Amino acid sequence: QVQLVESGGGLVQPGGSLRLSCAASGSIFSIDTMGWYRQAPGNQRELVASITFTSVGATHYADSVKGRFTISRDNAKNTVDLQMTNLKPEDTNIYYCNAAIQKTYVDFFNVYWGQGTQVTVSS
């Protein structure tokens, strides 16, 4: 089975920065996309940023984080990082790693989720 392990969450002051990391492990033949979502308690999950693991490496960012967050990948390590700068109180959320992974050559790409890591932006 595939497992996603997140790290890097914590408490930071407004204007500060954090770097979230997510490592995928287990039965992995190919990764199509990895990304980060966030979901506050009682709220709907929303996409923060994503990146493809193809040669194109296409990225997508939520409008609220454009220019502040940067997502990057390491294909060899099956990891994705989210560099968050100029953090705002409204960025406070639980952040979840997401991955679309093909376990074998004959499999479809299935979606996997991490357990979530807390990011708190407060003075």
pLDDT on residue 107: 84
Strands (DSSP E) found in 1-123? 3-7, 10-12, 18-25, 30-39, 46-52, 59-61, 69-74, 79-84, 93-102, 110-113, 117-121
pLDDT tens across the length of the chain (123 residues): 899 999 999 999 999 999 999 999 999 999 999 999 999 888 899 999 999 998 889 999 999 999 999 999 999 999 999 999 999 999 999 999 999 999 888 889 999 999 999 999 999
Give the tokens for residue 111: 């979606």
pLDDT on residue 19: 98
pLDDT on residue 67: 97
Task: For residue 1, give the 3-state DSSP assignment.
Answer: coil
pLDDT on residue 1: 87
